[in-house]
Structure 1
Amino acid sequence: MEFSKEQLEQYTALLEDWIPKEATIAIAVWDKYIYYAAGERDLQIRVGQQVEKGSIADIVLQNGNRTEGIMDDTLFHAPYYGTGYPIHIQGERGALIVIMPLKLQSHTPFRFLTGKQEEEWRPIPIEKISYMESLQKKTWFYANKEPYKTNIPLKELQLRLPDSFLRIHRSYIVNVSFIDRIIRDFSSNLLILLHDGTELPVSQTYTSEVRNALGF
């Protein structure tokens, strides 16, 4: 069954007055996405793509009820907050999904993180942290090039970091204040260089979000 773009955009027009402009909107019918408009959190869904099992769209299509929650990075390589609504289009059962940037959710930002070095724990002011890394199922953050270990995973840190922090990769969150410049590597992927010489890759999943956040 064919659905016109104008018909699908009627649903998004109804949402304009009560959702932030940064929101991403997806519409699925049966088991496929039929509409996608990327916002700040771009999950890189394609029209015609199969609905992922366990996603918010899948849950709404299965139970026919409004569903919301924070999803981890298992399905789209990036955590996201979504709300799904059951809808009907031309008599077909569907789901309307509103995907919000995680930082729009109400969480008190961290003022410091306590990290472990050997058998010592040190509270580090958040503004002194240059970047964070997930490595071998452990989370590390760096201040003055010194590594500190924390038990808080990146997906939870992301919820409570100030706006100066930006997720650029499944394994990295960077403090924008420490960015020296952004270049392209030999494969034309973005590469972030920090003032201390550290090089961090930007994954394809986060490229659009990084460009939107930094305005280039």
Structure 2
Amino acid sequence: MELFNASTLIDVIGELFSDETSIVLSDTKEYLYYQPSKRIDLKIKPGDPILEGTITYKALLAGQKVSEYIDRDVFGVPYYGMAVPYSKEGEIRGCVTAVFPTLTNAMSVITIKKSDGWVPVPFTDVIYIEAKERKTFVITKENVGTHTNTLNEFDFLLPRDSFIRCHRSYIVNVNYIKEIYPDTRSTFILKMIDDTLVPVSQTHASYFRKLLGF
């Protein structure tokens, strides 16, 4: 399929989706075509390599349709993607990907589970969220409890002006960071208002510094 014909086809496919959906066409190594939406733009350019961790990469690696949330590590914004590889003569030649903005949530509370029941907690009271022992712990000003959401799911639902993913195991509320220290084992260490020390990994350091402006 010539690129011109492929572009025309993708333009038509794009008409089937809402204005919130971006459409991507790639071969097995790089992006060939990108149509950004009004709601989400990953800043992809034709010729850019397919990066590890993207939904396109995962679909090509699996050799089948993949749909899941992708956190903001790769492109700087989280998104929900659906990618389907296409084949010719039995060999995978590329992938078509649809990129959707993260789901919005009108709720402003997190309902955490405690031993004696559930407690609704406003977003503004959450200090940080930690994944450990195959559970998600929500630490607030007055309570500690668990939640069924994963950190990736919280990364899409929490307001981005307050919450930052700083590590594969942590999301922090920037309003409750007391101090930031350099560290030899990780890029930074955050001291939260409850004196908990939270690491900032190398993967998240650049985005973290950009948002906090230092």
Task: Call closer, same or farther: CA 1:146–1:187 in 2, change over 3 Å.
Answer: same
Which residue among 58, 61, 70 is the counterpart of 2:61? Answer: 58
Q: Aligned AA for 2:49?
A: Y
Q: What is the CA distance between 1:200 and its match in structure 2? A: 0.5
Task: Call closer, same or farther: CA 1:154–1:143 in 2, change over 3 Å.
Answer: same
Which runs of 5 or more residues in structure 1 are unaligned? 1-7, 29-33, 45-50
Q: Does the 8 A contact of 1:178 with 1:195 survive in 2?
A: yes
Q: Does the 8 A contact of 2:186 with 2:199 survive in 1?
A: no
Counterpart of 1:93 in structure 2 is: 93
Q: What is the CA distance between 1:125 and its match in structure 2? A: 1.1
CA RMSD of aligned residues (A): 4.1
Confirm whether residue 130 of structure 1 aligns to residue 133 of structure 2. Answer: no
Work out the CA distance in 2 between the residues paired with 1:188 and 1:18: 37
Counterpart of 2:81 in structure 1 is: 82
- Alignment deviations for residues 122-153 of structure 1 (CA, whole Å, 9 cap, x no partner): 11111101111111011111112631122222
* TM-score of the two chains, using structure 2 as the length reference: 0.62
Work out the CA distance in 1 between the residues paired with 2:128 and 2:144: 10
Confirm whether residue 175 of structure 1 aligns to residue 189 of structure 2. Answer: no
Which runs of 5 or more residues in structure 2 are unaligned? 1-28, 87-91
Q: Does the 8 A contact of 1:56 with 1:97 survive in 2?
A: no
Task: Call closer, same or farther: CA 1:187–1:20 in 2, change over 3 Å.
Answer: same
Counterpart of 1:113 in structure 2 is: 110
* TM-score of the two chains, using structure 1 as the length reference: 0.61
% of aligned pairs identical? 29
| Aligned pairs for 1:1-216 within 5 A | 11=32, 15=35, 20-21=40-41, 23=42, 25=44, 35=49, 43=53, 55-58=58-61, 62=63, 69-71=67-69, 81-82=80-81, 84=83, 93-95=93-95, 104-144=101-141, 146-163=143-160, 164-187=162-185, 189-216=187-214
Corresponding residue pairs, total: 176
Work out the CA distance in 2 between the residues paired with 1:98 and 1:193: 39
Q: Does the 8 A contact of 1:109 with 1:160 survive in 2?
A: no
Work out the CA distance in 1 between the residues paired with 2:117 and 2:37: 51
Work out the CA distance in 1 between the residues paired with 2:200 and 2:43: 21
